[in-house]
Amino acid sequence: MSSEHEILNHLGINGISADIIRKNALEYSVYASSVQEIEGSLLFLVREEDGRRLVIINPCTILDDFAGDEYHDGKVRICPADKSNLKPLWRHFPFTRPIAYADKPVTIGLGDRLGIATPGHIKAIKETVAFPVLAQQSMRELNFTGRTYEDVLSTAAWSVFQEGYKSGYGADGDHLKTADEIKMALDIGMTMITLDCSDYIDNTIEGLEFHELSARYQKLPEKPRLEMESRYLGREFEISPDLCLSFSISDLMGLILIYHRAIEYIKSIYYEVISRSERAVDFEISIDETKTPTSPLAHYFVASELKQADVAFTSLAPRFCGEFQKGIDYIGDKEKFTQEFTDHVGIAEFFGTYKISVHSGSDKFSIFPIVGAKTRQFFHLKTAGTSWLEAIRVIALHAPDLYREIHSFSLENLEEAKKYYVISADTSRISDISQVNDSGLADLMDDPDARQLIHISYGLILNARRSDGSSRFRARMYAIWYKHDPDYAAALARHIGRHLADLGVKKNNEGIE
């Protein structure tokens, strides 16, 4: 007997109220914060072994668009809480629909690759002033997880409903590269677009001799070249009391050669797609997926050219010095990072219309205080990998044998996984798990080498199949996650909470005298 019937059989339908459901929520696997009332109908979510269901008691006619099975002479309707009922959810509960964040100072991307992390993310963020981008997924992540943007939006929306979270959230089509991808993401309802220009950034320019640089520069069309020269050469740009930029001819030739195609591409995407959208869109420019760090001079040049062309964007993601590998702390010279980051923030403040975005922001604890302080709490930061790793910790705690299988599989397939992500992990340093007892397995998720191993393998793990075509791990993993979802939410609330605290993000009640 499933839990939705249990609660109704025990408590009866007649006379049931929102209060009674909330009071008995725990016992009957009801999400207490999900209880809502519309014109005498009661709606709430229950947890089932294979996911969530929406229960509607005494459904009124305006709720007819929620499709489901009817029980008790139509007094109860039980509906799949998935994409098939996303549109009615958005219609009746507008707080479940993502919105652009516009001028919110602190915004945090909280990618949920598995479609199970959002409730924990909400628990972490709702106490703070930060605006969450709860749905955030790149094409690479969609391919690895076998999901679509509809899946991503729908799990986020149902999780927002589950938590009764009404402060608004965003949805980021992350690292999109083509106009078609962007149009698709906007059509489905994404509210933020992160344009990845890496295919248009020329990585062959850095390190060229002056004569080679000059020869390649001369081949570019003359008119735009001369216009840019007149904008930058022989001038000084006072960014802040501590930063004055000027361009030598070789600086400028190099920057034009590296970025001119990317700038043209950004302009075309902005004019043809972003500026034509009927809804407000947060538009992020990402130049972070390049070989070399973005110098402050390069940042200034790109931003200035975009301003010149009236391209409005919300945030810009430079590639910072040092390494931002997924799921582990910052690797690099912290002092140099502090200096360059300060310069990047200074340039963004000089233009005054966009914020700095930090990608691969999971677990960068040693630099979080710098990001929070230097930006004066005006930044975007993206995370995703860390929520996957916390989900693996849940497996290690509750299904040690399954964890052992996943761990061995990841080691066996390491070379394949390395094709997709750059890591510095030394897997020989990871403890031999045959020597680790069950209670010690979860601690592996505190070891940077093991974290990286499990991080880069997520696509391979989720897609692994047995010889008969059935999933090797996926189904068993989701069964554990559904069963222990309060534990997972609590773990994420703690872990993401630590991110926010170290970033210096204020609690809702702070600073109000």
Q: How far is the CB of 401 from Zn ion (least distance, A)?
A: 36
| # residues contacting Zn ion (CB under 5 A) | 2
- Comparing CA positions, the residue from 61, 20, 16 lying closest to residue 39 is 61
DSSP 229: H
288 binds Zn ion (CB under 5 A): yes
By beta-carbon proximity to Zn ion, the closer residue of 177 and 451 is 177
- Concerning whether 174 is annotated as a catalytic residue, the answer is yes
Helix (H, G, I), strand (E, B) or coil at 313: coil
Query: Which H/E stretch holds residue 202?
Result: none
181 binds Zn ion (CB under 5 A): no
DSSP 479: H
284 binds Zn ion (CB under 5 A): no
Q: Which long-range contacts (CB under 8 A, 24 or more apart) does 430-435 make?
A: 433/404, 433/407, 433/408
Name the one range near Zn ion by CB under 5 A: 284-292, 300-308, 343-351, 423-431: 284-292
Q: Using CA atoms, how far apart are residues 225 and 260, in angstroms rounded to an integer?
A: 10
Name the one range near Zn ion by CB under 5 A: 105-113, 130-138, 352-360, 401-409: 352-360
DSSP secondary structure string, 23-84? HTTTTTTB-GGG-EEETTEEEEEEEETTEEEEEEES--GGGTTS--EEETTTTEEEEE-SGG
By beta-carbon proximity to Zn ion, the closer residue of 4 and 112 is 112
Contact residue for Zn ion among 83, 97, 104, 359 (CB under 5 A) = 359
Q: How far is the CB of 319 from Zn ion (least distance, A)?
A: 8
- Written in H, E and C, the secondary structure of 82-110 is CHHHHHHHHHHCHHHCCCCCCCCCEEEEE
- Written in H, E and C, the secondary structure of 378-401 is CEEEEECHHHHHHHHHHHHHHCHH
Q: Using CA atoms, how far apart are residues 311 and 304, in angstroms rounded to an integer?
A: 10
Site for Zn ion in 432-471 (CB under 5 A): none
Identify the active-site residue in 4, 174, 196, 288: 174
Give the x/- contact pattern for Zn ion in 86-125, rule: CB under 5 A. Answer: ----------------------------------------
By beta-carbon proximity to Zn ion, the closer residue of 282 and 288 is 288
Identify the active-site residue in 163, 282, 284, 390: 284
By beta-carbon proximity to Zn ion, the closer residue of 68 and 109 is 109
Q: Which two tokens stand for residue 471?
A: 């999933």
Q: Which two tokens stand for residue 19?
A: 């209060």
By beta-carbon proximity to Zn ion, the closer residue of 151 and 288 is 288
Q: How far is the CB of 154 from Zn ion (least distance, A)?
A: 24
DSSP secondary structure string, 317-369? EPPPSSB--TTS--BS-HHHHHHHHHHHHHHHHHH-S-EEEESS-TT-TTTHH
Q: Which two tokens stand for residue 191?
A: 């509210």
Q: Which residue is nearest to Zn ion (CB)?
A: 359
By beta-carbon proximity to Zn ion, the closer residue of 21 and 201 is 201
Name the one range near Zn ion by CB under 5 A: 151-159, 282-290, 323-331, 438-446: 282-290
Name the one range near Zn ion by CB under 5 A: 99-107, 307-315, 357-365, 444-452: 357-365
Q: How far is the CB of 137 from Zn ion (least distance, A)?
A: 13
Name the one range near Zn ion by CB under 5 A: 25-33, 216-224, 321-329, 355-363: 355-363
Q: Using CA atoms, how far apart are residues 281 and 99, in angstroms rounded to an integer?
A: 8
Q: Measure the CA angle with vertex 135, ends 499 and 505; round to 5°.
A: 25
For Zn ion, the binding residues (CB under 5 A) are: 288, 359
Active site residues: 174, 284
